[in-house]
Amino acid sequence: MAAFGQAAAQVPLVLDPAKLRLASLNAVVVDASANRPVYAKGANDVTPIASLTKLMTAMVTLDAGLSLDELIAIDMDDLDYLKGTTSRLRMGTELPRLEMLRLALMSSENRAASSLARTYPGGTPAFVGAMNAKAALLGMSNTRY
């Protein structure tokens, strides 16, 4: 069996990117042994990355050192008029900042994330500015919020 494994290891792997079919808009596949890309689809397209936005929301919120016990209420400013997304958080829902942070991260609750930004010192514009500053600090030179 060991001889078979050695023989298989000597056969060069031929990658055919034309056979790769991905539904995603953006992807990069890298041959790690040769450290070279073998497939790219929309690799340089500017696209929002929701998970990255959620993580940045958490970092900026935590960096601010605000009380995680402070109650935050969902209000009209937290409605998504741009994309019309829905939420399980109703107007007037009041939760501690920590719970809003958890909901923003674990349930992708946009209203919770919006409430965190709105209650940041200086409001949403200052929050977005802090997100951009944090991205720059982390070396994310092509990231803008």
Active site residue 114: no
Pair of tokens at residue 18: 């034309």
pLDDT at residue number 20 = 72
pLDDT tens profile 15-74: 676 777 778 888 888 888 888 888 888 888 887 777 899 999 999 999 999 999 999 999
CA–CA separation, 135 and 144 (whole Å): 8
Residue indicated by tokens 């937290």:
78
Residue tagged active-site, from 54, 87, 114, 115: 54
Helix (H, G, I), strand (E, B) or coil at 129: helix
pLDDT at residue number 32 = 86
Pair of tokens at residue 13: 């792997």
Pair of tokens at residue 88: 């399980």
Q: Is the pLDDT of residue 5 over 60?
A: no
Q: Is the pTM of this model over 0.85?
A: no
Active site residue 54: yes
Residue tagged active-site, from 33, 51, 83, 141: 51
CA atoms within 13 A on the CB side of 25: 6
Q: Long-range CB contacts (< 8 A, 24+ apart) of 29-38? A: none
pLDDT greater at residue 55 or residue 12:
55
Q: Is the pLDDT of residue 13 over 70?
A: no
pLDDT at residue number 44 = 86
pLDDT tens profile 91-139: 999 999 999 999 999 988 999 999 999 999 999 999 999 999 999 999 9
CA–CA separation, 4 and 13 (whole Å): 16
pLDDT greater at residue 20 or residue 145:
145
| Weakest mean pLDDT among 8-12, 76-80, 85-89 | 8-12
Cross-strand bridge partners of residue 29: 39
Active site residue 108: yes
